[in-house]
Structure 1
């Protein structure tokens, strides 16, 4: 009884964090039943995760932007334009792939820094500054593609970024061994990091969950990691897109949870005036966050262009809204100061799962938009209600 009581209390106190995982599980169960098991097949899960990649990368950056109480509407067309730029560099000028990618990433960083400068130093509201950027880069994308409409990229090395899979270390039919080994290493690392964190908390007399609950948590998360890697190993294994997303999430998770920069970002989001009085350079933090957003927009454009193997006139359309939705569904607060990059990835998976599952079940596009809007509204309502309760 004590165990059940503790579980209920833990869920109640951490409902913001656990709510999105529960939502994802419910969505997956519904669509698995509704599609006769097709939704949970190795091929579909692999495609679903790969399709989520470019939005997941954007949502990581958007989470930090919303955490510091701003918004960036330009990222969609920045991604589309830089994807088109790479296509031009590769096809028209024969630029080596690493050089073309580096150029796009540097330009994305500079664009983000310029947005940050307009907001932090000039004092233009983020909504207005990035709306102007959205229109500018929409026009730039149309200019870049006006000659052909669609720029086909025949470069196999570049296209492998969006469509390729990591090589295997053994030729076993039906199983990608390297993916399973990576999954096993991820489980070991997760258990070790959780054990180390718990040990440190106990050392300094911080409150921790009971040992049975801690073990249950380890088993549950490890089972999910193992199951996902097993599913992926049944269809070509881990893609390069997934590897890139994992690296991005790992880097940003470390920055936001283990560094002074991360603490300053959340301090600025929680109370900009108090942060400024405590010696934090709010303008500098704004520049860094928007520069990061521009860099991730460039990476998103690379992933999307490589997946399509072409640059199109419509690339980037509504990317920013999908990223904002993923961030909110993933637990970021509209009031700022609250949100995790890992949550944004779950939010991106929730939104992608909705689209994928509804397509498998033959739901009309009009109803899809209505349902996606309702989910986003529910996420924001949930944020407001839980925030009010915590006060």
Structure 2
């Protein structure tokens, strides 16, 4: 007997697809203006701090020579911050970075100064020594499951003792001119200078680098926005997007113009830029980078998904040793000698830079750009308070409060996100 469709209903003309085979309804594109404080708050805070100290110093903070000084004086901390952010994202911490800076600087001094090894070969050997130090610590953390806090605390004492043993409690120098140029020097004016009206002369190469940087920022952000639109994700309205892009480009160009007016590009800034871009691409675009975030986000889920957690942990500590060696060479070249007290508290500055830059205490969150920005915030505070004649204890007080505020904000934002679910 044929069945009859219920009254008020329409019999389907074809068999309906199962639920798991039906296409999801398309979501309308959403254009909005909002600020994600978790991601963008650090940049807003940086702008406010710069504005504050610019006013307090009567504009001296943004003078060409002072901007160059901030970049050069904080370069080694920023290099350490790049390695530290990866370790913190993975849910660990490294307390030995400052001691490794001192030990590798001592190795470089013995090779270059006392044994007259050609500086490129000596630098390469020093980097290998840094990698071995990182491998030593990574082995205990990754394969013996000893907490990184304990391993690197032991390393902080161990490698400081190694430094004192190598140097005999005295400094070794001077370093070759090439190393000092890398740490303190500037590129040559290959294309000469150009007049910028009332601003005076400026290095053409530095201005071209600034223009290329702005073009790169525009192209990258435009492609990212187009990709989000293809996946029907939320994006800023076009006028807002253009305004944000113009603001970022103006900041980059302002810094490069000021550097061009003082001298030329600092060599160490070129090195730092190359490291920042390389590690940003690694964390955002490679499998290894995604594995670091997965390990820090949920180590048990990472293991169940087939990620070699021990392997990832081991190599991020090797990487930290390599970057500490690079920072050690830069710092020794800047002082023109390797000293037994080099690198003291550098690890604390690098950790502070990572957390101020948005890294989460529990791991799984953080960006290289954020760590660089956090390091620059610390540098601006140091420099600005020095310009206004603040005593050292007041500088430490402000830096401590800024770090506490950054971590408190991270905890608050997580609780707020959990409460709204």
TM-score using structure 1 length = 0.95
Instruction: For 1:74 and 1:276, locate their aligned partners in 2 and report how far apart those are by CA, in whole Å.
Output: 27
Question: How do residues 1-391 of structure 1 correspond to structure 2 at under 5 angstroms?
Answer: 6-7=32-33, 10-11=34-35, 14-146=36-168, 149-172=170-193, 174-391=201-418
Instruction: For 1:357 and 1:57, locate their aligned partners in 2 and report how far apart those are by CA, in whole Å.
Output: 21
Is contact 2:175–2:333 with CA below 8 Å preserved after alignment?
Answer: no
Query: Deviations along 1:36-79, whole A, 9 cap, x unmatched?
Result: 21111000110011111100010111111111111111111101
Is contact 2:32–2:234 with CA below 8 Å preserved after alignment?
Answer: no
Query: Deviations along 1:79-116, whole A, 9 cap, x unmatched?
Result: 11101111111111100111111011111111112211
Instruction: For 1:300 and 1:346, locate their aligned partners in 2 and report how far apart those are by CA, in whole Å.
Output: 18
Report the 3-state secondary structure (helix = DSSP H, G, I; strand = E; otherwise coil) of the residue aligned with 2:276: helix
Is contact 1:65–1:290 with CA below 8 Å preserved after alignment?
Answer: yes
Instruction: For 1:261 and 1:390, locate their aligned partners in 2 and report how far apart those are by CA, in whole Å.
Output: 28
The number of aligned residues is 382
Instruction: For 1:202 and 1:27, locate their aligned partners in 2 and report how far apart those are by CA, in whole Å.
Output: 34
Instruction: For 1:316 and 1:245, locate their aligned partners in 2 and report how far apart those are by CA, in whole Å.
Output: 18
Which ranges of 4 or more aligned residues in structure 1 deviate by more than 4 Å?
none
Instruction: For 2:275 and 2:360, locate their aligned partners in 1 and report how far apart those are by CA, in whole Å.
Output: 21
Higher mean alpha-carbon deviation, 98-107 vs 166-175, is at: 166-175
Query: Deviations along 1:291-330, whole A, 9 cap, x unmatched?
Result: 1111111111111111111111110100000000000000
Is contact 2:109–2:175 with CA below 8 Å preserved after alignment?
Answer: no
Unaligned runs of 5+ in 1: none
Instruction: For 1:127 and 1:310, locate their aligned partners in 2 and report how far apart those are by CA, in whole Å.
Output: 30
Report the 3-state secondary structure (helix = DSSP H, G, I; strand = E; otherwise coil) of the residue aligned with 1:175: strand
Unaligned runs of 5+ in 2: 1-30, 195-200
TM-score using structure 2 length = 0.89
Instruction: For 1:6 and 1:190, locate their aligned partners in 2 and report how far apart those are by CA, in whole Å.
Output: 21
Q: CA deviation at 1:154?
A: 4.1
Report the 3-state secondary structure (helix = DSSP H, G, I; strand = E; otherwise coil) of the residue aligned with 2:338: strand
Is contact 2:203–2:264 with CA below 8 Å preserved after alignment?
Answer: yes
Instruction: For 1:153 and 1:61, locate their aligned partners in 2 and report how far apart those are by CA, in whole Å.
Output: 28
Instruction: For 1:258 and 1:143, locate their aligned partners in 2 and report how far apart those are by CA, in whole Å.
Output: 42
Q: CA deviation at 1:176?
A: 1.1
Q: CA deviation at 1:200?
A: 2.3
Instruction: For 1:240 and 1:206, locate their aligned partners in 2 and report how far apart those are by CA, in whole Å.
Output: 40
| Greater share of residues in helix | 1
Instruction: For 1:112 and 1:267, locate their aligned partners in 2 and report how far apart those are by CA, in whole Å.
Output: 21
Instruction: For 2:387 and 2:228, locate their aligned partners in 1 and report how far apart those are by CA, in whole Å.
Output: 46
Instruction: For 1:37 and 1:113, locate their aligned partners in 2 and report how far apart those are by CA, in whole Å.
Output: 46
Instruction: For 1:388 and 1:208, locate their aligned partners in 2 and report how far apart those are by CA, in whole Å.
Output: 25
Instruction: For 2:74 and 2:38, locate their aligned partners in 1 and report how far apart those are by CA, in whole Å.
Output: 22
Is contact 2:214–2:249 with CA below 8 Å preserved after alignment?
Answer: yes
